[in-house]
Structure 1
Amino acid sequence: MRCRNAAIAVSTLTVAAALVGCDADGADPNTLRVGTEGTCAPFSFRGADGEVTGYDIEVIEAIGERLGMRVEYRLALNRPALFSGLRSRRVDLVANHVAPTLPLSEQYELSRYYAEARPVILTRPGEDLNASVTEMSGRNAAYWDCGNWSDGIDASQGGAKVTVESLDHAVRLTKDGHVDATVTDSMAVADYLTRTADDNLVATGITPPFSLPQTFVARKNDPVMDEVDRALIEIRADGTLHAISEKYFGTGSVLPEE
């Protein structure tokens, strides 16, 4: 069990091309070291001040405050580097809009779910496109999803699959007619609409519907996850998690059912 103190968590951003830092032997037991990419808005990204922020980050900050732990961020270039940092004990937790999968659960410890997303197709108004996996075959589509949806919904069969760095970029390609649709995530769409109030796109859920919850990831059998789960229960019960959700995604709750 990690030590606690009474101090409110203070975030520290460590900027690097890959995860860096001391190994586990030199780790401060009062510091929660969190691996993230910082390029996955609205979940983990750099704010105007250069500091890492986002939905996942604010949830982790609330967890750190509840545990009386300082939160320190280690940035990675990509997801493989994130999990490499976890295995090598450079970080204690990964917070990066991660969806649970069977292979992931077999290798790592997964937290309680703190959000739930659904795949969404964005099209121009009037486009004759049923939002189904089979209908996407042969369509040109832009994909931005931070790694959660592209494997499950593939428009590359006869069409172009364009990977973009942000949802805003994908939206521009769709509006300009460079692609037929954008395949993304209901949480990202909610954030986009909250920021822009854009009514020039049609958002349709994939049929048949399915969803993927979001989870934090730790090393297998690491007791830190028991603490994280306890804190998640508490910040959900006192309304903190709902308030963070509403800030980024509007009034529509993204919290999974209990």
Structure 2
Amino acid sequence: MNKYTKIAAIAAVTLIAASSSAYAVVPSASAKSVPAYQKNLHKKGTLTVGLEGTYSPYSYRDKSGKLTGFEVDLSKAVAKKLGLKVKFTQTKFDSLVAGLDSRKYDVVYNNMGKTKERTKKYTFAKPYIYTKTVMITKAGSDIKTAADLKGKKSAQSASSNFGQAAKKAGTNVVSVPGFAEAIDLVNSGKADVTLNSQDSWGVYKKAHPETKLKAKTTKVLDNTSSSPMLNKKDKALAKKITKAQKQLAKDGTLSDLSEKYFDSDLTKKP
């Protein structure tokens, strides 16, 4: 090897080494670390929310067809705090839980109560609504207390807290997809009663001042709360959502949304 060939060979090896070194030190954009709470998201950079979309005032379609409601606005505010976009997936109540199992969405915002059975398989963020349970019947009904529920026909979403409570109280549960259908069955006499939250009843009564239905609070189910419900593996995301909701409570957003949709602040634990 002559002098010039040797110099060229050394230069080539040096250049290759330098290039390899540079490649090893400079990370690519795709190599940037993803926060733990975002690793299991259904869609990158997006908080996908499962809800019914037919349960006013929590989530429903307004006259123009736009999805709106307390939980819709709340989940938008939470996503913003997390630096994420938001996407909504509507489904019937009895399918909401299964959707978490198959990861169709990241979190359910749908007036979900925290129960012993659910906490075995799912994780929950901090509650955002606290309310009482009422028995809704026709005027003149002989259902006055929880003891009177035994043997009666109760229109309920079977897998809901209210449906489980009605079953334990001895009612014959007539399964319905949502609150509106339950009210229809009571109105038509095909069901004697439906159990639901005091806030939902208040909103319904305000929208239907002509209603002949009556509601009475009951202890068949203790004061209930609603929480974001997530897959058991998403504890990091649940903590972030809890933190976001605490920030929204502190800056007054949570109370303002409650006043907007319920005409009262139901965000404080009694």
TM class, shorter-length: 0.7 to 0.9
Q: Tell me how far apart the structure 1 counterparts of residues 262 and 189 of structure 2 sit (CA, whole Å).
A: 27
Kindly provide the CA deviation profile for residues 206-231 of structure 1, in whole angstroms up to 9, marking residues without a partner as x: 13561221111223343222221111
CA distance in 1, matches of 2:192, 2:217: 16
CA distances 1:6-64 after superposition (whole Å, capped 9, x unpaired): xxxxxxxxxxxxxxxxx958832x31111223233332333334343222211111212
Secondary structure of 1:153's partner? helix
Deviates more, 1:141-150 or 1:230-239: 141-150
Among 21, 25, 34, the residue aligned to 2:49 = 34
Task: Tell me how large the CA RMSD over aligned residues is.
Answer: 3.2
Question: Distance between the aligned counterparts of 1:170 and 1:26, measured in 2?
Answer: 32
Partner SS, residue 98 of structure 1 = coil
Taking the aligned partners of 1:213 and 1:162, their CA distance within structure 2 comes to 24
Retained in 2: the 8 A contact 1:138–1:155?
Answer: no
1:191 maps to which residue?
Answer: 203
Alignment partner of 1:203 is 2:215: yes
Q: How many residues align?
A: 235
1:121 alignment partner, SS class: strand
SS at the partner of 2:89?
A: strand
Contact 1:140 1:156 in 2 (8 A): no
- What is the letter of the counterpart of residue 72 of structure 2? I
Give the Cα separation in 2 of the matches to 1:149 and 1:41.
17
Residues 1-258 of structure 1 mapped to structure 2, 5 A cutoff: 1=35, 27-28=43-44, 30-80=45-95, 82-132=96-146, 134-143=147-156, 147-154=160-167, 161-198=173-210, 200-207=212-219, 210-219=222-231, 220-251=233-264, 253-257=265-269
Unaligned runs of 5+ in 2: 1-34
Residue type matched to 2:138 in 1? Answer: R
In structure 2, distance between residues paired with 1:165 and 1:90: 19
- 8 Å CA contact 2:46–2:85 kept in 1: the answer is yes
DSSP-derived class of the 2:142 partner: coil
- Choose between structure 1 and 2: higher helix proportion: 2
Q: Deviations over 1:55-85 (max 9, x none)?
A: 22111112122233210112334544x3444
The percentage of aligned residue pairs carrying the same residue is 24
Scaled by the length of structure 2, the TM-score of the pair is: 0.72
Q: Is the 8 A contact 1:59 1:241 kept in 2?
A: yes
Deviation of 1:152 (Å): 1.2
One-letter amino acid of the counterpart of residue 116, structure 2 = L
Which structure shows the higher strand fraction?
A: 1
Structure 1 residue runs of 4 or more that deviate by more than 4 Å after TM superposition:
23-26, 175-178
Distance apart, 1:145 and its partner CA: 8.0
State the alpha-carbon separation in 1 of the partners of residues 188 and 103 from structure 2. Answer: 45
TM-score scaled by structure 1? 0.75
